Amino acid sequence: MIVSLIVSNDSIKVKPPYIINSNIVKLIASISEKIGAVNASFLNKPSPKLRKQNKIKTIHSSLKIEGNTLTEEQITAIIENKRVIGPQKDIEEVLNAIEIYENLEQFNPHNEKSFLKAHQILMSNLIEKAGKYRNQGVGIVKGSKVAHVAPPFENVPFLMKNLFDYLKNSEEIELIKSCVFHYEIEFIHPFLDGNGRMGRLWQTLILMEKYPVFEYLPFETLISNNQEKYYNALSESDTSGNSTKFIEFMLNVIDMSLRELLNFNNRTFDEKDRLDYFVSLKKMEFTRKDYMGVFKDISSATASRDLKKGVEINLFEKIGEKNKTKYKLIFRKTFINPK
């Protein structure tokens, strides 16, 4: 499918150009299969501990791409209100990102005002007029060469309006629309600074509306580890005049991120971690087989010991005996972690 820029006397309608090729179709099928496996394995809403770890990885990776020097350990300390020594700008970037990523549900991915509000928070105390579109021309220089010249600033408001129209009204699937939106933000470059982190943030919001797992999936880590390929994909799309290469790159990143989640090495969990994680899934009634379906690398004997411990500390109630044994989750406002 090819879409293009349509110009009329009354308005300019942006239909971002891209082609759905066979590689993109294969990646979409692979991602859809993995999302199904994630849901079947009860991994679509990880434990609070894992959610916190993933949030830290997301913030660290997205800001690292932009040159932030703080480590995951320092970001953890900031979240825990501990004193951190580092460049004030880097600390400010982390504080702003924490406010955003701890309140993702407050932002509407289809709303332009929400988009501007997110930028205002993300870039607060970092640039003047955070949350407002740029009022001057910009270009991206790499080395001694101009890598990208953004559209004139006068065009930004209607380019963004039409990009949100595409997001709201296109019948394209969210996996594609999220990649297209991300690329177009980098191309339009609507702000003087913060465009990269806004593109990655908004792709997350678009995806998590349809697939909750993306709230906890730090695919920014893979982008950070493959920054050269990320920028090459942007450059190739600029050169070709469509976002196809970037869509392929991002879908591959998403596919790999989901694969890593599904291949998570559960053997690194101890008894306490497994029980804490399983309780967080809030599966009200289950069998030992269900338990082992979540922790695929443990033996039946280990699963039995875990469940026995869970019964002893009143996490579960045991019903029946032998092959008819089932367990019921004992629901309480605060779950007790096993020692």
Among 304, 236, 242, which Cα is nearest to 271's?
Answer: 304
Same domain, 150 and 273: no
Q: What CATH number does the domain containing 86 carry? A: 1.10.3290.10
Same domain, 214 and 282: no
Same domain, 255 and 280: no
Same domain, 236 and 280: no
* Average of per-residue pLDDT across 213-229: 89
Half-sphere exposure of 262 toward its Cβ, with a 13 Å CA cutoff?
17
> How many domains, in total, are found in the chain?
2
**pTM value surpassing 0.75:** yes
pLDDT of 17-64, one tens digit each? 899 999 999 999 999 999 988 877 656 666 677 778 889 999 999 999
Same domain, 62 and 160: yes
User: Which of 222, 237, 262 lies at the terminal end of a domain, its last residue?
Assistant: 262
Mean pLDDT for the chain overall: 87
Identify whether the C-beta of residue 316 lies closer than 8 Å to the C-beta of residue 327: yes
Identify whether the C-beta of residue 196 lies closer than 8 Å to the C-beta of residue 183: no
Task: Note down the domain range covering 275.
Answer: 269-329
User: Which of 243, 262, 281 lies at the terminal end of a domain, its last residue?
Assistant: 262
* Average of per-residue pLDDT across 63-88: 94
pLDDT of 151-208, one tens digit each? 999 999 999 999 999 999 999 999 999 999 999 999 999 999 999 999 999 999 999 9
Same domain, 70 and 217: yes
Q: Alpha-carbon distance 295 to 327, whole Å?
A: 16
Q: What CATH number does the domain containing 277 carry? A: 1.10.10.10
User: Which of 210, 236, 262 lies at the terminal end of a domain, its last residue?
Assistant: 262
Same domain, 210 and 324: no
1 in a domain, yes or no?
no
46 in a domain, yes or no?
yes
Q: Based on DSSP, count helices (H) and strands (E) in the chain, helices before strands.
A: 14, 7
Neighbours of 209 (CB within 10 A): 15
Q: Is the pLDDT of residue 266 over 50?
A: no
139 confidence band (pLDDT: 50, 70, 90): confident
214 in a domain, yes or no?
yes
| Least confident among 34-38, 46-50, 280-284, 335-339 | 335-339
Same domain, 135 and 184: yes
Neighbours of 72 (CB within 10 A): 14
Task: Say how many Å lie between the first and final Cα of the chain, rounded.
Answer: 57
202 in a domain, yes or no?
yes
Same domain, 236 and 306: no
Model pLDDT, residue 264: 63
Same domain, 276 and 183: no
Same domain, 82 and 135: yes
Same domain, 108 and 196: yes
CA distances from 250 to 55, 223, 255, 272 (A): 19, 8, 9, 36
Model pLDDT, residue 337: 43
